[in-house]
Chains A and B, each alone.
Chain A
C-alpha cells in the first residue's frame, strides 16, 4: 500500500489510529500492514534526519570512487559486502561509468578518513584504485533540503 508507505516516509511518528483515519482504513489493518512491512524489510528503519553542522558536530564526509576487479561468480558483490561492514561506511552503491563503487564514509577528522582509505579500503584484495572526494557542504539529504530558507508567508486568515 504505497499511500501508507508515503505517509510513514513523510512522518513516521503518526500513530496507526491517525494513519487509519487519514487513509480511510481500519486501524488494526494499518497496524498489521506496518508490521508486515517491517517483517518483510520493506520498512528498513525509522530515521531522524539531523543537521549535524547546526548541532555543532563537525564530521568529515567523503565520497570515494573505487575501481575493483570483479570476481568469478560473485562479480562485485563479495567486495561490496566486505566494504559495507565497516561502521565508517554510510553508503555504498554500484555505479555505471568511470568507476565501480561509490562509497560514502564519515569520520571525525580528515585523518580518520585518510586512515580508512589507506589502511582498510585500498588494501582489500580486488580494489584497484580509489579517488577520494571530500564533501564540502550538504544541501539536500534523503529528500530533505538542509537549512531550507523557504518560510511560511501566508496570512493568518484569508478568504
Chain B
C-alpha cells in the first residue's frame, strides 16, 4: 500500500522545511560552529524559571481559561499600552497561545475560506506560507530585496492584490533579513489595507529586539486596531523559546473566533508557561535590556566581519540575523551553505529556505558568543577567499 497516497493532498503539497536538511547534516558533525540557530543563546532568566518552579510547588498544574490566565492577559494589555499606547480589553481581546506559531495558525484558520488570498512579503519566516496553505488559503508571494531594504511598499502590493485578497501577513523585525519598517512606511501599508479592506496579521515576535530606533506596533496606527491581529510572544525577548508561549491581540470578534479553534485543539496554554510569562512581564525588562545590548554589539561585529570578507550585507535593524548576499561567489545559497559546512564546519541557513526571494543570500544568526562569531567569520572569510582562487 502506498501510505503517502492516504495523506491529505494539502499536506503532501507542502514542501519540507529547507532548514531540516541542514539540521540532519550538521547534527552529525563535530566541531561545528553554528550561525544557524534561530533562538537566543541566553537561557531564560532565573527569576522567570524560579517563578514557574514556585508555581509548581503551589500546585498550579490545572487547566486555565481557554483565553489564558486573566492575570497574564492583564499584564499583556498593560505592556501593550505602555509600549505602544494601544488598548485592549483583557477579557475578550487577548488570547494566550502555544507560541506565536499557534496564534498564526489560529488567525489563518479563523479568517480564511478556501481560495482566499494572503499577501506574504518574502523572504519570510518558514511557516508563513505553509500556514496559509494548511488553512485552505492561497499565499501570494510579494518579493522584497536588498535594494528596497527588504521592506514592502503600498505601490508594490498594489500589483499583487486581487478581489480574493483578504489578508496581509507581515513580520517586522523580519526573520531572516533583520529588516524593520519605519512608522511612515507602515502608515502607507495601513492606507493600502484600508483601501482594499484587508485584515493585517502582524507578527511582532522580534519587536523588543529593535536597534537604533523604536518599534511601531501595527495596530497602534490610526484606524488599524480593529483591522489588525497582533501576534507576539515571549520566545525571543525573554529567551523563552521552549516554553511555547505567545499571544494574539485584536478585536473581540477575531479573538473569539480564534479562541473557538484553540479550545477544540489546544484547550489552553500550559499553566506553567503562563505563570512564568507573568513574571517575565512584571520583572523581566532589565534582563531584556541586557540581552538586547549584547545582541546589538554582536550585530555590529558580524556585520563588520561580512563587509571585510567582501560580501554585500544589508544592515539589519532588528531580530538577531544578518542576511549577506553570496551572489558574488557564483554559488547558489544551498551550494554555499553545504560547501561551507563541509569544508569549514560553519552551519548557516541558505536563503532559499525562506522563499525564492531569499535565493542568493544566507541567514546567519548572531545569537551566539562573540568568540564563536569571530571564529566563524574567519572560517567564512577563508572559504570565500578559496572560492575566488
A residues with a Cβ closer than 8 A to B are 3, 6-7, 11, 14, 18, 21-24, 150, 152, 154-159
Contacts and interface: CB of A to CB of B under 8 A. Distances in A.
A158 B304 contact: no
Contact of A22 (B22, B37, B38, B370): B370
B36 interface: yes
Contacts of B370: 11, 14, 18, 22
Interface in B286-307: 293, 297-298, 300-301, 304
Contacts of A7: 297
A21 to B, nearest CB: 5
Contact of B300 (A11, A21, A157, A159): A21
A157 B36 contact: yes
Nearest to B21: A157
A152 B43 CA distance: 9
Interface stretch (B26-34, B62-70, B177-185): B26-34
Contacts of A159: 17, 19, 38, 125-127, 175
Interface string B32-58: 101011110101000000000000000
B248 interface: no
A21 B304 contact: yes
Nearest to A2: B293
B27 A155 contact: yes
A77 B370 CA distance: 42
Contact of B34 (A22, A150, A157): A157
A18 B374 contact: yes
Given A23-B297, A156-B23, 16 more contacts: A3-B297, A11-B371, A14-B370, A21-B301, A22-B297, A22-B298, A22-B370, A24-B300, A154-B34, A155-B23, A155-B27, A157-B36, A157-B37, A158-B23, A158-B38, A159-B175
A73 to B, nearest CB: 42
A155 B126 CA distance: 17
Contacts of B371: 11
B349 interface: yes
A13 B301 CA distance: 15
A154 B374 contact: no
B271 interface: no
A97 to B, nearest CB: 27
B179 to A, nearest CB: 17
Given A156-B27, A157-B349, A159-B125, A22 B41 contact: no
A159 B300 CA distance: 22
B249 interface: no
Nearest to B367: A154
Nearest to B20: A157
B297 A157 contact: no
Contacts of A154: 34, 37, 39, 41
A155 B301 contact: no
Nearest to A158: B38
B131 interface: no
